[in-house]
Amino acid sequence: MGNITTIAVTNEVKNEIMEFGLKGETYSDILKRLIVSAKKRMLHDLLMDETNTVTIEEAIERAKKRWQR
């Protein structure tokens, strides 16, 4: 285990963290698991973002128009 530090959280936040815990887990274990999950979700959201995208069919039509000149 690395260096240990203390972080101040309200009792409300502490209780919410505990809701994610499994038997025998430390707060550090819980927070690490939540961070990994959040990173995976962020990557998923980035990869699945359809903003500024076109369908394959539309891309093919655009390519045909561009190269038929």
For 12-53, give the DSSP string. Answer: HHHHHHHHTPPTT--HHHHHHHHHHHHHHHHHHHHHH--TT-
Tell me if residue 14 falls in helix, strand or coil: helix
Could you tell me the pLDDT band of residue 2, with boundaries at 50, 70 and 90? confident
What predicted TM-score, i.e. pTM, was given to this entire model? Answer: 0.67
Give the number of other CB atoms < 10 A from CB of residue 33: 14
| Pair of tokens at residue 45 | 């959201």
pLDDT digits (tens, 9 = 90+) for 9-48: 999 999 999 999 999 999 999 999 999 999 999 999 999 9
Poorest-pLDDT segment among 7-11, 15-19, 49-53, 65-69: 65-69
